Chain A
């Protein structure tokens, strides 16, 4: 398997076993080439994927287990890409889930070949991408920061944020507003008033 890796660092290596899989049509954003590899798709130096369709699993319940066993422990990320192509998924999906979980594989479900292809593409494209987009974001401008903070209180929506901001002038004034002042704001009903007021005035730690 080593020969192909050096030349095609930016390509997904595809096992010859996958020849004829219609999924290959949907890998468009990344180059892919056939190679002599143990896994179905080699997505990076330490990540690989096996493809299984639930329909196929019903016919060959042992197939997945044997494929996983072949992989040995060479990879950090071992994806089982499961194409959900059945209506009645409960039993087969449960089996696939258990097999993947007990043999250190990460199960990704996709409901169409397009989606299968996209998972493969994405893992390749994001090979060196930091996790910033799924980590807590650092805010940008004042209004979105204000919205971010105030909407953490249940039932408060964006319109309320504008209303509160413009009625009280600043966040610290909103935080120190009385129930009655809050109730005077259009669109802020009794429930919201109470939620706001409690959030700001109830102590952080409730004392017994």
Chain B
């Protein structure tokens, strides 16, 4: 344990209320927990709420127990008094606290994580309040909240202070990386760091510039709508995910009044940010494939796709992969970039002129595909780096052994390469194993085969009179081929290009058929050695099988490009495959003459979120995709293991957004901490004479107090109303904040699982609550109609509560957006239809959560209290034999059921039978049609389902 961590613990134990700890991202929380929890009274039970997955493995020394709704309630009740650390969700805890299955007197402390995501209306605050109200006077349950996202802690006004009040803690502990104790711990013996800057290829640079231009254009457009504050909208901020939050926070209050165009702009910006990110992470072919997919999936809607710069993105991305060349050697379709034009219309005019020129000597046979297959520049550097490391090692070992024989017996020779995602890992592994050309070729072949598949789908769909929806936008190529007479000039190039691609693809597919057997063999053999499920680990030095390393030029002369996929090159593929799986260390062909040995390499994807360093104990780490959090993890690892040698290489693309993003993330964190330090100095947390926090309700400075009526102050959490007012609440509603607010207003909240409705106010009144987003969504899915239908069936006063959000506008649309005609898509039409078909349905319009609570109170006056046992049984199908306290949502794979019910052929009447007779969806997908017919009770439905499941999916471009 490092000294700053010890300090954190002793600070935390000083205050009986607990405390809020904010750490720099990457500084670990688990060692603190592991040392702190044993210091608490051992006969009481510590509770850990929503523990992040990444934290779980490192908590094993505490041998905690996870509780879920599966566990029968009496078992849960006995665990709460077991003294063993429990991991559970806030939903379970609040339900068990409300029903007294869990008593505060048996809890030693409550631990909360990701504190920056909490707010005064979240369930955690509800829990904190309930703990304070119901715990005996001699026992105070301390609350320890943690956050490793300082940036998330400063969004919104005085967030930290407000949060601390809701959690009833008064101490804020700030632990930035620049804290004296932290930096002295981490910098006494830091790892050796080498920073390698790699220039991007010209095409990558071009794409990056073009994307940034497109972003800029989108931002300008967004500004023109006059709906957002201009200052926050810069391209730099656009690089971060949090940019979406900034925009959303500004637009949310008016989101439902925004036009399609503005909404599209917001989503385009997100797409463009992804494109920037993927430019650095994906290879050229995959990138092109992703672009193709994008074009298919959002081509018609997006604004940016039509922008001038987006043309450049597509053109350059394509040029990194292949070029279309005329037989005489002149290039086609490349001069677009040379003549940048300002408006789209002009561009197409321009194109037209060129196309005419090209169509004069139009001969499809005259067009050939020249593959470029640009490798990511980092690949080469990574390889060289690995070779260098191995070389140094083999030189160094002898000397080392003489000087300090067993220096660090614990660390291994492993070189750890960390990437952002699983995909990059698999690919880099491929690249190291088979050589970069081969890896690129593999992606390229997959890409071309995708084309073939599309072609065959197209041929089959030809017979159908109607063209499937998704096809219209595919590069124009497909559409034109279907109706050649209608082909317009701009498509000529596309036809030729497409033909060339297909020709290349068909050659590949022929040769791959021959290969299939070998490939299957190869994968079968390579599987077992992957081992360990996720992490792939190779003990042996990776064999270098790269016979083409010098043989194949990146840019082929045109004459040869023609033959690239003929038998000759295909057979060399097979050779390599065979070599790699037989793991031959010796070079068999002349191609390997210049190969150098490599050290053992381990690839790891950061999004797997595991504490990888302790697991592998590498002596060298290559950070392939730089990431601030991981850098901190390296530092901590080194500080915890001062004896181990550790060398770290960073691979950056020079002048890329990667560098910018990395630097900016550090700045952002620092300034967040500076702001928190300022806030801390001004903070006022009220306590009583015993030093207990009083919580938020007594604060008159609360911004909410303007809205809340005298009821709030009277309730104040502490004094319940004279006559206890009860509300029965569906368990699922504890995801929302309303139960919390109802309780705050003095109502008794009874959690149960309801089949019909969300809230039962009286034996007569049943409420289905919809936020505005939910309302639109459930109208669209038809779910609302169904819900209202059942409510009307079972309750005398069925209520649809339409709840607006406090910080959004109280209206659906502005007068000007209503339009001239009655339109079936408008919310007015949908609501009208609903009330016309259910004249007994009552609507309640609420301005906010707090307003809803007041409305509930007023509706309940003069009504009887609801009966929870009755409410639970309403609408529950009797054949299920429902047991009391059965929580349906937790016992069913709801996501799978929803999916199942959306499949064609599946209906209300047959889905239960399908669920009963197969274990899961994967199994269902493999059932023969006869079996399905038997289960579904209909040949036709079974055939519809089976055909849909097995239908050939149209491949893009």
Contact = CB atoms under 8 A, between A and B. Distances in A.
Interface of A: 28-29, 47, 76-79, 84, 89-90, 93-94, 97-98, 100-101, 104, 106-109, 111-115, 118-119, 121-123, 125-127, 129, 131, 133-137, 139-146, 148-150, 152-154, 158-159, 161-163, 165-166, 168-172, 175-176, 180, 183-187, 189-190, 193, 195, 198-206, 208
Contact of A206 (B274, B422, B835, B891): B891
B899 A134 contact: no
Interface string B780-807: 0111111000000000010100000000
B829 interface: yes
Interface string B414-428: 000000011100100
Contacts of A159: 293-294, 297-298
A77 B840 CA distance: 8
B833 A129 contact: yes
Contacts of B289: 186
Nearest to B533: A179
A153 B920 contact: no
Question: 10 shortest A-B CB distances, which residue pairs?
Answer: A136-B782, A165-B953, A112-B815, A172-B925, A111-B811, A77-B839, A166-B955, A183-B422, A175-B925, A143-B470
Contacts of A131: 785, 833-834, 837
A29 B895 contact: no
B828 A119 contact: yes
B912 to A, nearest CB: 10
A106 B841 contact: yes
Contacts of A109: 843, 845
Given A107-B844, A162-B296, A184 B925 contact: no
Nearest to B829: A122
Interface of B: 70, 72, 274, 278, 282, 286, 289-290, 293-294, 296-298, 421-423, 426, 450, 453, 466, 468-470, 605, 607-609, 707, 779, 781-786, 797, 799, 810-815, 818, 820-822, 824, 826, 828-837, 839-845, 847, 851, 854-855, 858-859, 890-893, 895-900, 902-904, 915, 918-922, 924-926, 948-956
Given A158-B297, A165-B953, 9 more contacts: A94-B855, A107-B844, A123-B832, A166-B954, A175-B922, A175-B925, A175-B949, A185-B423, A204-B921
Contacts of B781: 136
Given A142-B468, A190-B608, A123 B836 contact: yes
A118 B818 CA distance: 8
A149 to B, nearest CB: 4
Contacts of B921: 175, 199-201, 204
Contact of A208 (B70, B893, B920): B70
Given A152-B895, A203-B893, A170 B953 contact: yes
A198 B895 contact: yes
A204 B920 contact: yes
A115 B822 CA distance: 11
Nearest to B947: A142
Contacts of B835: 77, 79, 106, 108
A202 B921 CA distance: 8
Nearest to A195: B895
A46 B121 CA distance: 43
Contacts of B797: 101
Nearest to B837: A131
Contacts of A139: 904
A172 B469 contact: no
B828 A153 contact: no
Contacts of B453: 166, 169
A101 B293 contact: no
Q: Is the interface of B mostly helix, strand, loop or mixed?
A: helix
Contacts of B924: 175
B839 A76 contact: yes
A187 B859 contact: no
**Centre residue among B784, B818, B841, B924 by max chain A CB count within 10 A:** B818
27 contacts: A47-B839, A77-B835, A84-B811, A93-B845, A94-B851, A94-B855, A94-B858, A98-B859, A106-B842, A111-B812, A112-B815, A115-B818, A135-B782, A146-B953, A150-B899, A163-B290, A170-B953, A171-B948, A175-B922, A175-B925, A183-B421, A187-B274, A189-B421, A190-B422, A203-B893, A204-B896, A205-B893
A102 to B, nearest CB: 8
A204 B897 contact: yes
Contact of B920 (A119, A161, A201): A201
B426 A190 contact: no
B818 A172 contact: no
Nearest to B912: A204
A205 B892 contact: yes
A48 to B, nearest CB: 11
A148 B836 CA distance: 28
Given A115-B815, A143-B469, A206-B892, A170 B949 contact: yes
Contacts of B834: 131, 134
A76 B829 CA distance: 19
A186 B423 contact: yes
Contacts of A203: 893, 919-920
Nearest to A120: B832
Contacts of A185: 423
A55 to B, nearest CB: 15
Contacts of A161: 297
B297 A205 contact: no
Contacts of A171: 925, 948-951, 953
**Centre residue among B70, B608, B833, B859 by max chain A CB count within 10 A:** B833
Contacts of B897: 204
Nearest to B425: A183
A204 to B, nearest CB: 4
A198 B948 CA distance: 21
A190 B834 CA distance: 40
Contacts of A187: 274, 278, 290, 293
A162 B904 CA distance: 19
A36 to B, nearest CB: 24
Contact of B893 (A89, A148, A199): A199
Nearest to A95: B858
A101 B799 contact: yes
B468 A141 contact: yes
Contacts of B890: 206
A37 B605 CA distance: 73
Nearest to B891: A206
Contacts of A205: 891-893, 915
Contacts of A90: 707, 847, 851, 854
Given A107-B842, A115-B828, A119-B828, A144 B707 contact: no
B925 A134 contact: no
B204 to A, nearest CB: 17
B854 A125 contact: no
B843 A149 contact: no
Nearest to A146: B953
Given A108-B831, A159-B297, A184-B423, A166 B450 contact: yes
Contacts of A107: 842-845
A193 B609 CA distance: 14
